[in-house]
Amino acid sequence: MINPGANYPGALPISDAREDFAAAALKVFLAAVRERADELEQLPIRHRVARIDGEPVRTPDDDRDGWFAWSLPISDGTTVRIRIPGVDLPRMRDDLSSTAPCLYVNANPWGWDAAVGSVANEGMKLR
C-alpha cells in the first residue's frame, strides 16, 4: 500500500484535526473557487459547460487521517470530491511550505491555490 504522505509532507495524518475547522475552511474555499471561476470565464479561449450545482454534501465515510470529506454536485451530473484538513485556515491557506496540510480534490493532493484552481476549472472547456 502506498502511503500518500511519503512523498508529500502536507499529506501526513493530522492527529488533532477538527471538523469545525474543516467546515469553516470549506466556506472560504468555495468563495475562492467562485471568484477564480469568474476570472476563468473572462478568458476568450475558454467557456463553461458545467458549474457547481448546489451545496456541498458531507460524506463522513470518506474522512481520512484528519481530513473531512464533502462532495460537490456539478451541473453535468458529475461530482467533485473534496477532503479538507481539520486545521485552522491560515495553516492550510497561507503556509506555502511543503508541510502545509494539502486539500484533496478527487483524491489528488493540492496546496490551497492549486486546489482552488482545480475546482474552478471543473466544467471549463477550450473554445
Say which residue the cell 509532507 belongs to.
9
Band of the pLDDT at 17, cuts 50, 70, 90?
Answer: very high
Mean pLDDT value of segment 96-119: 95
Mean pLDDT value of segment 36-47: 92
**pLDDT computed for residue 6 by the predictor:** 52
Alpha-carbon distance 8 to 17, whole Å?
A: 18
Say which residue the cell 481539520 belongs to.
86
pTM given for the model? 0.91
Amino acid type, 116: V
Q: Decide: helix, strand or coil at residue 33.
A: helix
The b-or-e profile of 20-59 (16+ CB within 10 A means b, else e) is ebbeebbeebbebbeebbeebeeeeeeeeeeebeeebebe
> Which tens digits make up the pLDDT trace of 54-76?
999 999 999 999 999 999 999 99
**pLDDT computed for residue 96 by the predictor:** 92
Mean pLDDT value of segment 97-116: 95
Give the distance, in angstroms, between the CA of residue 67 and the centroid of all CA atoms in the same chain.
11
User: Per-residue DSSP letters for 61-120?
Assistant: GG-BTTEEEEEEEBTTS-EEEEEEESS-HHHHHT--STTSPPEEETTEEE-HHHHHHHHH
